[in-house]
Amino acid sequence: MPDVNQSERLTQELKTSALRTAEQPRASLLDVIPQTEQAKILASILDMGEAVIVADQNENLLVFNPAAERLFGAGATTARADKWSEQYGLYSSDQVTPFPAAQLPLARALRGETVDDVEMFVKHAKAPNGLWASVSGRPLKDAAGDAFGGVIVCRDITANKNEASFRAGQSRILEMIAANAPLSDILNSLVLLIEAQSPEMLCSVLLLSSDGNHIRHGAAPSLPDEYVQAIDGEPIGPKNGSCGTAMFRGKPVIVSDILTDPLWEDYRDQAAASGLRACWSTPIMSGRGKVLGSFAMYYRQPQTPTGDEARLTDVATHIAALAIEHQAAQEILRRTQAELAHAAQVTSMRELARSIGQEVNLTLAAIVDNADHCLEALNENKPDLGQLREALTNISNDGRRTVEIVARIRALAKISAPQKVKLNLNELVGEVFSLVGHEAQRKDIALQAELADDLPSVLGDRVQVQQVLLNLVMNGMEAMTGIEERSLELTLKIDRVQNGEVVVAVTDRGTGIKPHELDRVFKAFHTTKSASLGMGLSICRSIIEAHGGRLWAEPNIGPGTTFKFTLPAGVRGA
């Protein structure tokens, strides 16, 4: 590695030589440097491991050392500065736009500017994939301070840029895992990242089936579809290609030539038809040593590992294991949340059971009374048809109401997988108020709904969103238990906001919540009720966040508390 101060010493030598001969007439830079100094300086330049280019004020390239020829793919040119980008394939950081001639580090140095660490992309016939260079430059000035030339030193930073890009790619994939992106998207991004490190390499991630005996497709964006489909669902075993064998053994399997290796005997035709000749597969292991799948590198020609692939394999298998285990953990979490949510539903139903039972009994009693009245009227010689019609209408209405109550109760008590559909929140509020109406009447609580006209729909699971509404309303009613000095009201208000969300607010006039408790009430197992697990609000927040919204509590200006939640708006009027 050359001395980092070598270019500065070189510049100083050129300046010193120029000062010695400042009074001499000159036609170019070399005219001001004595022959004895020229040999010394040029030898120093040519020995440098970094690319060094020196030009005079007339843009003549006087020094172009071997490192510069390797970096830029050619030697010195007689072209002017406005042609240098085209001549040497110099591009801006977007790798597409030719580097502006006036901003080239050497051109700036010739104008008397100091240039530090300017990055450019270099692409030419000898470097078709491109290189990255960091360029620093200094003007060469005479005793009067006038620039008579310039020098630049260029470092090949391709390896550093590739490493930075590789690390950034890993970070993006880890962010996808944290954001619960689909596993297929994560694995595809991972495979593409690894493939970008070697243009000749094709990669795949295969998953081990839940029964532990078969191959499942994970990601293989660059492999032929026919090949991917052919191996999906195949069994693992001691002689099942590179991947099936690696998963079976729990150890890496290196096959340098698919056409001759016995492990590929049953899959040789599929590989040959897809132009695949080498495959190195490594099992993806969980933190507990369980095989989760495999990561494979394919090549279109027979090939043996060089050792450089080990790091890429380690990165790929590590990130793939994180993604697979994270998805499994999320699935367990979803099931647990669903079970807890159902438990909360049952708890809510238990709290409503007495009130709803009374309401159903009242409607059934009304049905019986009206039916008896009809029977008595029919026993008369001339029954009053108007009264019969009214009684039968009452029977029909009460019967329909009873059916609706039972249907809503069954829906709330039913265990089913979440299913997001377009929901009308105005309708859900009406259904919840219908369920709690009798309980509110018993507690002398007035229910008020302030609904928005032309409300956009939201996308969500009907039962879960209704459960959140029911829980907040029941909590609000509970918060007003025992209050006698003021009228009791519970208001449910729906608003539309500008950022594409619908806001639902449930306001009670209860005892209120202390400021330091406003967030704690959402913590699991935190409760002020002796007969409660303290999971209701925690589950409600989980449900709303899973729908892309937020749930929080605010103190009222007067008595009581307001619980608010948001949901992303969907299609208006749906």
Ordered structural domains, the chain, with CATH? 6-156 (3.30.450.20), 163-327 (3.30.450.40), 335-572 (3.30.565.10)
What pairs with residue 446 in β-bridges? 489
Phi, psi of 98 (to 5 degrees): -55, 140
Q: Hey, what are 320's tokens?
A: 């793939």
CB 32 within 8 A of CB 21: yes
Q: How many residues does the chain have?
A: 574
Give burial (CB, 10 Å; 0-12/13-18/19+) of 20. middle
CB 143 within 8 A of CB 175: no
**Average confidence (pLDDT) per 10 residues, the chain, 574 residues:** 50 48 44 57 64 89 89 89 91 93 93 92 90 92 81 91 90 92 94 91 94 94 94 93 95 95 93 94 93 96 89 94 89 67 57 56 72 77 75 76 64 58 89 82 90 85 85 89 88 84 93 84 58 60 86 91 89 48
pLDDT at 32: 56
In our burial notation (b when 16+ CB lie closer than 10 A, e otherwise), range 152-171 reads bbbbbbbeebeeeebeebbe
pLDDT at 47: 62
pLDDT at 405: 64
pTM for this structure?
0.56
pLDDT at 573: 44
Give burial (CB, 10 Å; 0-12/13-18/19+) of 44. middle
Its sign, for the CA torsion 4, 8, 11, 16, is: negative
pLDDT at 343: 59
pLDDT at 185: 95
pLDDT at 222: 95
CB 149 within 8 A of CB 14: yes
Q: How far apart are CA 433 and CA 448, in angstroms?
A: 9
pLDDT at 43: 55
Residue 473, H or E segment: helix 462-479
Q: C-alpha dihedral over 83, 87, 90, 91, to 10 degrees? A: 70
